[in-house]
Structure 1
Amino acid sequence: MGTSLFQTIFSFILLFVPFQAQNFDSFEDIATYLKTSDSRNIAAYFAPIIEMNILNEENEYSKAQAELILRDFLLKNKPSTVKILHQLNSNPNYRFAVFSFQGIDKKFRISISMAKEGDFFTIKVIRIEYDKE
């Protein structure tokens, strides 16, 4: 009886861990994925349609197309450091972050906007521009 109750409680907790982790740690996770050029895990956060502006080339793409474009950018600009410069997490339906992305020979600023869809936040907009510093 005790084991069954423990399993039920443990299963209930596991059910909510991914939701909480995504809400509170999503930008930390995205920073880690940027550092490792892991476009696949970043794409897991993508909305079905995502607006991308990469070095002044702007368009809307499907989730699969956006992943390929991001993968291409990361392959061409291997990251040496990625830092979160600014985060906005105070709005219950909107998240925003700005990252400093140092490639091998170029520095970029990446901004990501997320909006709540159902119970989760999805990436709606990614902007990548040269850092002017």
Structure 2
Amino acid sequence: MKRTILMLIFAAWAFPMQLQAQSEVMNDIRAAIKSGSSKELSLYLNDVVELYFYGEMSSYSRTQAEYVLKDFFKENPPRNFIYKHQGSSKDGQLYAIGEYTYDNGTYSILLRIKEFEGKLRIFKIDFIDEQD
């Protein structure tokens, strides 16, 4: 009985901390995209990440993805990035849909995130040009 009570107390304590950590990661990702920092964003990429641009999906290592994102941000410097919707699936996968504005238009960005080796990591990013 004591063990059950201790487990419930621990769960009640740990759950808010997990939500806080999740919120911090999502805020850091948003800030990295908003500032156009591929270096900061790469801190949250999984070892392999899928990037979807212009109707084509490619898989990259974290380092390769950082360079691809650097080129994207250079070609499309951000004016703003905001989350429009965030949620999670039943299996614990997080997602966020955001609006990325730059001088020539807007992209919708879909981020897919899940836990790898105890850390939340982006494993897929879709850039959808709103002008197409």
TM-score (norm 1): 0.78
Question: How many aligned residue pairs are there?
Answer: 116
CA distance in 2, matches of 1:75, 1:21: 32
How large is the RMSD of aligned CA atoms in angstroms?
2.0
Residue 32 (str. 1) matches residue 47 (str. 2) = no
| Residue pair 1:79, 1:101 contacting (<8 A) in 2 also | yes
| Residue pair 2:105, 2:131 contacting (<8 A) in 1 also | no
Equivalences for residues 1-133 of structure 1 within 5 A: 22-89=21-88, 91=90, 93-132=92-131
Structure 1: state its 5+ residue gaps: 1-16
| Residue pair 2:36, 2:77 contacting (<8 A) in 1 also | yes
Quote the offset at 1:25 in angstroms: 2.1
Q: Letter of the 1:85 partner, please give it.
A: K
CA distance in 1, matches of 2:121, 2:64: 16
CA distance in 2, matches of 1:58, 1:48: 16
Q: 1:86 to 1:20 in 2, by over 3 A?
A: closer
Q: 1:22 to 1:71 in 2, by over 3 A?
A: farther
CA distance in 2, matches of 1:83, 1:24: 14
- The residue matched to 2:65 in structure 1 has which SS? helix
- State the identity as a percent: 21
| Residue pair 1:22, 1:121 contacting (<8 A) in 2 also | no
- The residue matched to 1:65 in structure 2 has which SS? helix
| Residue pair 1:23, 1:120 contacting (<8 A) in 2 also | no
